[in-house]
Amino acid sequence: MKRIRVALAQIGTDIGDFEVNAKKVLSCVKNARLKGADLIVFPELCLNGYPPEDLLLKPEFLESGMKALREIAQNVGDIVVVLGFAEKEVDIFNSAAVIFDGKVTGTYRKHFLPNYGVFDERRYFGRGIRACVIDYGGLRIGVGICEDIWHTGGTTERAIAAGGAEIMLNLSASPFERGKHERRRRLLEARSVDSKAVFVYVNTVRAQDELVFDGGSCVYHPEKGLIASAPRFKEDVLFCDVEIGFDSQKLLEPTHRYAEYSPALPVQLLRIEKILDGEKPELEVRGAPVQYGAVEELYEALTLGLSEYVRKNGFEKVVVGLSGGIDSALTAALAVEALGPEKVTGVFLPSKYTSALSRALASSLAENLGIELIEIPIEDALESYRKSLEGVVEEGISGTTDENIQARIRGNMLMALSNRYGWLVLATGNKSEFSMGYCTLYGDMAGGFALLKDVFKTQVYEIARYLNYKHGKDVIPEGIIEREPTAELRPGQLDTDSLPPYFILDPVLEAYIEGCMPVDEIVRMGYDRSVVEGIVTRVDLNEYKRRQAPVGLKVTKRAFGRDWRMPISYLVPGTILEFLISGEELR
């Protein structure tokens, strides 16, 4: 029986802050040694921060990372450290350094380079062509990075089939999206059972710009199943004693099930001379990590993503335009959850169309959240705009033009507060609105961060109800949740004047945007053809708006932004000009 104590450093690091990142890594290494770990493994590109994007094209960024790696190595003693970093040699590689006894013993270079969704790794990295196995006191440990585990026929299978790896490490930086955690879990379980190897999966955590990383690091045993798991959405160092009770020599036989799939990739063998059978301190007994439902994990992702964006960009406060509606209410409530009430300011911007109910609901929300509420009426500014345009627009300002001016005045007021006080303006639009163009450029789209950008309207209601349930009281007033959605830009206006009901709209949008389904297939789901065609046309025609939207968190399989890359100008029914003249640029 072979035994090894493994530490999984589920941490997040800041892009380019090599000094702080190196200190964090060494702190984890010190903690792991004190608890008797033989090996500690860190996430993908942990030293540089993830994703570094075009910083990888800057020589000084790569050189600083390589220097930090050497300094870390000098401070590592008799524990094996496997650390993700950007390696600059004949090319740039997404690599894992194997460090022991004061030096980098060797490196593994990522084999499968994803080039879909938010990933552009072929833009930056060369492809690794060798499997890597560490012979650690007679125990063989393979090394892989993120995408390497999602495909067969590469370095992971080669390390097991030809290198005799009994344990397979996977350093990952896998962004959060709804339902992905369960897919990862099933994948790891299948890989472990199929290959007869223990899989140690280490995922990063925290957030970077639009990406949230939810952790969920774990260890799967081919016979025992899941034997250790870290919490999601927070940093943690997970310790696990791994026992290998099967004959590793059997893995070297050509009859091994993966042998036929593994190409003739060379195997790099790194030898670590150390005995693994020393006395170790007892590990604390942990309870099982919290299991999140679909709405709960959305809540966690949104609050984590916002707190990280505010921290990393140095904002002291955020400001939200409160309308008495559900989107602004949830945005403000999530901001309070992420940052605390003292860092959130609400602004109520009434016009003559604003109802007394909206004022009462906005006031009640602010009181429930414990945030400051500022009121800035916009009617005088609106009249000034109308008067200024009288001699230019012959028939006078009315209709959609008048509605959009109101939204833009509100955006100007919020941005003025941002300029004066340095507050981050949170745009409040959701994915349903961004999809359909039911938003105003330079109006309600104004802001530095769109928290709900990838959240459909029906999910907005679900998260609001969850938040109230979590607190055991109506933090978001029930009147806001029950109220029929309205922009209040004209008398008696409702969202359904311009959009299908959200319970119809959202499933069609999800099928078209995330499922890439054609119209005929969506119609076969039971939806009226004219409704589907109208929705799809509006999605296509409003790309020009979405391209100018603020950055927002990705929480679905296909978020607007790097996930969704559509041309603005291409042949669709109608044109943008026809769309605007017809009055369809709503709000």
The CA-atom distances, in angstroms, between 202 and each of 107, 155, 191, 239, 385 are: 17, 17, 15, 12, 56
| Cβ-based neighbours of 582, under 8 Å, separated by 6 or more | none
Neighbours of 352 (CB within 10 A): 11
Q: How far apart are CA 587 and CA 584, in angstroms?
A: 9
Domains with residue ranges and CATH for the chain: 2-272 (3.60.110.10), 294-581 (3.40.50.620)
Tokens of 258: 């993966």
Helices (H), ranges, 162-215? 180-195
- Token pair 């540089």 is at which residue? 48
Amino acid occupying residue 554: K
Half-sphere exposure of residue 549: CA atoms within 13 angstroms, side-chain side: 32
Q: How far apart are CA 546 and CA 497, in angstroms?
A: 22
Q: Model's pTM, two decimal places?
A: 0.92
| Average pLDDT, 10 consecutive residues per value, the chain (587 residues) | 93 97 98 96 98 96 97 96 96 97 96 92 95 94 95 91 95 96 94 94 97 97 94 97 69 42 79 82 84 96 98 97 96 98 97 94 97 96 91 79 93 97 97 95 94 97 97 96 86 88 96 95 96 94 94 95 88 54 46
| Number of residues that this document lists for the chain | 587
Nearest-CA neighbor of 557 among 28, 180, 26?
Answer: 180
Assess contact for 285 and 391: CB atoms under 8 A.
no
- Kindly list the catalytic residues: 44, 110, 146
| Cβ-based neighbours of 198, under 8 Å, separated by 6 or more | 166, 167, 168, 192, 219, 220, 221, 222, 242, 244
Assess contact for 43 and 202: CB atoms under 8 A.
yes
3-state secondary structure of 155: helix
The CA-atom distances, in angstroms, between 326 and each of 61, 148, 246, 332, 333 are: 43, 42, 57, 10, 10
What pLDDT, on the 0 to 100 scale, is given for residue 50? 97
Neighbours of 35 (CB within 10 A): 17
Tokens of 327: 């989107």
Q: How far apart are CA 148 and CA 112, in angstroms?
A: 5
The CA-atom distances, in angstroms, between 189 and each of 110, 111, 226, 525 are: 21, 21, 8, 33
Assess contact for 134 and 117: CB atoms under 8 A.
no
| Cβ-based neighbours of 182, under 8 Å, separated by 6 or more | none
Q: How far apart are CA 377 and CA 413, in angstroms?
A: 10
Residue 4: phi and psi, rounded to 5, are -145, 140
310 Rama sector, left if φ>0, alpha if ψ -120 to 50, beta otherwise: alpha
CA dihedral 300→302→308→311, nearest 10 degrees, is: -110
What pLDDT, on the 0 to 100 scale, is given for residue 253? 42
